[in-house]
Structure 1
């Protein structure tokens, strides 16, 4: 009974802090990437895996869900959670750089493709926006991020600085800027839920 109560609380907490990129936008990214859901392919000297073409540094920046990059990238829910946690981690920096209160799906696409927040403003990700406009529906492209209940909280920026070294499949640059993640709790709660399920 105790595990059930804790699991319910953890799920509720996860939902309350997992605002950010919408499901519609994640579907758009899948259409653009066109990755094999059960395979990796060599891309710029390193593997890009699954539907969203996730690379190792990207998986590390989404808090390493699953037991490995491949295990997560080949699992539909884990891969979606990775994209969600990665983009949530750096969303506040993109908002600052673009001077926006809310990010569009195109902003998230550039972040996903371009190596974190540097991709939001980098010219090398503009071609990705063209791909999104060609392959995604108007409703997917119109989707704005969901309101972030942690955005105005000082606690949302209290995590230790993290080195972002993500290199995406279409980028020509690697970012190595010291960044402060804002959304670590979402991934932590997901891990807590997984542990509780294993002990039931």
Structure 2
């Protein structure tokens, strides 16, 4: 396409160009389109454009955090209200703080849903009882508090700029924080364990001493 040898090409900003003449070049999109049949390919070269890369780091990185949840439990109905939630996460170097906060907010809300309301059940014929949002509850802005977030920065030694993952951190840490808060609130009733989700019915049964024992 550029009428030159591969060794005379240079890569910059999503395009290949001829060494010494940046004005003569093609973008990846143009190259992909050409590879699909608009350009005569050398003998033995099939069409299409494929690339495969495997990233195998010398070691793994682990983000970490701490989560504190405060709940109120209505002793008459068993309903749980999340009053406060404090989350402190460490994902190393924060490349885009706004996206990091968004991932944490979403993970915390996801955790509240798993801990308090999201349940898939089946009837005797095997029909799913939670097949729509009329039957399968998910948290909205009404069911979650104003998240109180903080962070520390511990750069990863295995990454060029010290970054770690953050996508699942809050999702992993928030459910046990919520359930532990519920169990703590029910300590006067002798409750030491609750299976997720802590629905009002399950919480009420636990307060009556009829909770299902852990498996």
Q: TM-score, normalised by structure 1?
A: 0.25
Using CA pairs under 8 Å that are at least 6 residues apart, name the structure with larger relative contact order, 1 or 2. Answer: 1
Higher helix share: 1
Of structures 1 and 2, the larger Rg is shown by 2
Give the TM-score of the pair, scaled to structure 2. Answer: 0.24
